[in-house]
Amino acid sequence: MTRMYSHMEDIYFETAEMIENDLISAAMFILLFILFISYAKITLFELGIFYILFRLFLFGLEEYKKYNKDLKAYEDELNDYGDDADDEGEDNGEDGENGEDGEDGSYDLLNFELKELKMKKKE
């Protein structure tokens, strides 16, 4: 449950950041439209190029904020090939305290011991 809440919280904050960036870029676009197009000092083509450059700047700023303090996370993301199934299996084998997965292993062990006791009683 906590893992799901944390994931949803991350999605919420990422979405809020993206909306904030879109609002900033829209405000800049509107200001440029009012200032320059109404006075015929800049063309729509030049304005479009400026908008694209501004969006690239915002993207770079977002990446910088994301990885400013955590260079290891940046390197991990660059080296992540999307093979999460293998990572989860390795993590479960290394740690004995993995929450649900650790509990499942202990239940299997208890069931096995219970079956052994039943077999001994039958003999």
DSSP codes joined into one string, 76-104: HHHH--S-HHHHHHHHHHH-S--THHHHH
Q: State the pLDDT at residue 112.
A: 77
Q: Please give the residue range of the domain that contains residue 26.
A: 2-122
- What are the distances in angstroms from CA 83 to CA 6, 8, 43, 80, 90? 21, 22, 48, 7, 11
pLDDT given at position 113: 78
pLDDT recorded at residue 43: 75
The span from the CA of 60 to the CA of 53, in Å, is 11
Task: Look at the chain and report how many structural domains it folds into.
Answer: 1
Can you state the percent helix, strand and coil of the chain, rounding each to 5? 85, 0, 15
pLDDT along the chain (123 residues), means of 10: 67 76 78 72 77 80 68 64 52 49 61 80 76
Q: Residue 80 is encoded by which pair of tokens?
A: 């992540």
DSSP conformation letters of 10-21: HHHHHHHHHHHH
What pLDDT shows up at residue 67?
66
